Each structure stands twice: as structure tokens, then as C-alpha cells.
Amino acid sequence: MSEAEGPVVVRVEAKIAWLTITNPPANALAPAVLEALDAALAAVDKDPAVRVVVLTAAGPHFFSAGADLKGAMGIDLPAYLQRGQALFSQLETLSRPTLAMIQGTALGGGLELAMACDIRLCADSARLGQPETTLGIIPAWGGTQRLPRLVGRGRALEMILTGAVITAEQAENWGLVNRSLPPDQLVDFTRNLAGRLAQQPPIALAEAKAAVHQGLSDGIAAGMIAERQAMARVMTSDDAREGLVAFLEKRRPHFQGR
């Protein structure tokens, strides 16, 4: 997979694909950005060398201020909303682990984009919120669905109905982000975590992730079935054999993704 420029810059290093939204001043998710994200995710999904995806944005101030509301006034709004929902679902179900590295403010669609990632890491100076109702609209790229699953019904409704923007500390306490870190530590922490995930067996990670989503989507009974079926599949992999042999031999396993 070659590096790509544009509103989403793609850089691959050490099995990690770094996708950086570059749409100053606030990294708004204009249609061109959504298209670039779509292309980047499609390329990542086809590249067996990529084991982890990190989604971030250029500049220290905005991860993303959300949808391009000014630009949306002159386009097919239902199609724009559907496009965003489909893209975020594509990100959420990507077979690779996905990390959102939030260096600045994540509002509206920007937070919805981050919530579609598996793990969210943010600077302790970051601010996060779903302020759509203060504009007379509502979250429409999954915010009404993913936010309650992360922080609970009451807190999600508090954020959505008041449009409050919360601190990184509050986001971590509520479970909206996994870690809140000093800005000068965020990149290194993200790189180290992504590196650890890149050394894990990719088949097992993909199957575990899919089973989690199955249960959240269709209920625990369906999730249990998916879990058993996934375990049966991974047990036949070369990686599973390598992991078990390495454990018995008291050495570090070397996973090949087979």
C-alpha cells in the first residue's frame, strides 16, 4: 500500500496505517473528506501488511469539528447523512483494530467518527461533545446510538440534549475515551499501543472484534454463538498453533496472520 496525500494523508509504518485528516482550519468532514476516508479504508482493508489503523487529524486544535454544515446547505443532505453513517459503520467493522488519536476538539460528526473506532486516546486538553441540538438539529452519524453504548443512557442523553462539551478527564471517567494523556505523551503512547496490537495474531483479533460487534448488535445469545464459531475457526490457524507452542516453549510467539 503506497502513501497517499489529499484531505486524508495515509502513511504506513511498522504494520500501522496512520490516517490523518487534513482539512484546515477545523478538519470538517466535508464530502471530499468522507470520500478520501472511504478510499483509505478500502486500501487498508486490502493490504495484508497493515495490521492496525490509527485515525488522527492535522494540527493540535481540532480532531474534527464535525460535518461541514455550511457546505451541506447546498448538497443532497439525506445522501450526505447516509454516506457518513455507512462510512462510520465500515470503520467500526474493519477487521483491523482501530485507534482514534484525538489531539484537539472532537465535536458532532468528529466525535461520531472517533466513536466508530475501537479505542480512543486523547490529549488531556481535548474537548468532546455532541452539540447538534444547540443548532436545532441532532447527531445523525451514529451519535444517538454509539454514545449510549459507551457512556450509558443517562449520560448520553445529558450530552446530547444539553449539547454540553465535556473535558478529557470527564470523557475518560465516563468511558468515552480509554485514556487521557498529556499532549506531549499522546503520540508515543498511541504508537506504542498500536505497535503492541500489530504484534498480536491478526486472525484472532479480527474474530474477537467481530464477535463483540455481533453480540452488541444482535444480543448476547447471538454473540455467544458467534463466539463459539469464531473460536472453532481460529483454533485451526497457524497462529493458534504458534501461540500454543510458544507458550509451552516459554518463548515469545511470532504470528504470521495465517
The series of mean pLDDT values per 10 residues for the chain, 258 residues long, is 76 96 95 95 93 96 88 75 94 96 97 98 98 95 97 97 97 98 97 96 93 93 94 88 82 83
Question: What residues contact residue 228 under an 8 Å CB cut-off, 6+ apart?
Answer: none
Cα 212 from Cα 199, distance rounded (Å): 21
Q: 49 and 97 in one domain?
A: yes
* Closest among 165, 181, 169 to 111, alpha carbons compared: 165
Q: What confidence score (pLDDT) does residue 3 get?
A: 59
Q: What confidence score (pLDDT) does residue 165 get?
A: 97
Q: What confidence score (pLDDT) does residue 254 get?
A: 82
Q: What confidence score (pLDDT) does residue 201 get?
A: 92
Q: 189 and 145 in one domain?
A: yes
Domain boundary among 173, 198, 223: 198
Q: 107 and 229 in one domain?
A: no
Q: What confidence score (pLDDT) does residue 233 get?
A: 93
- Is 56 part of any domain? yes
Q: 137 and 21 in one domain?
A: yes
- Is 30 part of any domain? yes
Q: What confidence score (pLDDT) does residue 28 get?
A: 95
Q: 215 and 108 in one domain?
A: no
Q: What confidence score (pLDDT) does residue 72 get?
A: 63
Q: 109 and 235 in one domain?
A: no
Q: What confidence score (pLDDT) does residue 253 get?
A: 84
Q: 211 and 191 in one domain?
A: no
Q: 141 and 25 in one domain?
A: yes
Domain with residue 65: its CATH number is 3.90.226.10
Domain count, the chain: 2
Active site residue ranges: 112, 132
Q: 187 and 217 in one domain?
A: no
Domain carrying residue 183? 8-198
Question: What residues contact residue 15 under an 8 Å CB cut-off, 6+ apart?
Answer: 49, 50, 51, 52, 198
Cα 48 from Cα 234, distance rounded (Å): 17
Q: 119 and 23 in one domain?
A: yes
Cα 172 from Cα 151, distance rounded (Å): 10
Q: 219 and 92 in one domain?
A: no
Q: What confidence score (pLDDT) does residue 5 get?
A: 72
pTM: 0.92
- Is 59 part of any domain? yes
- Is 257 part of any domain? no
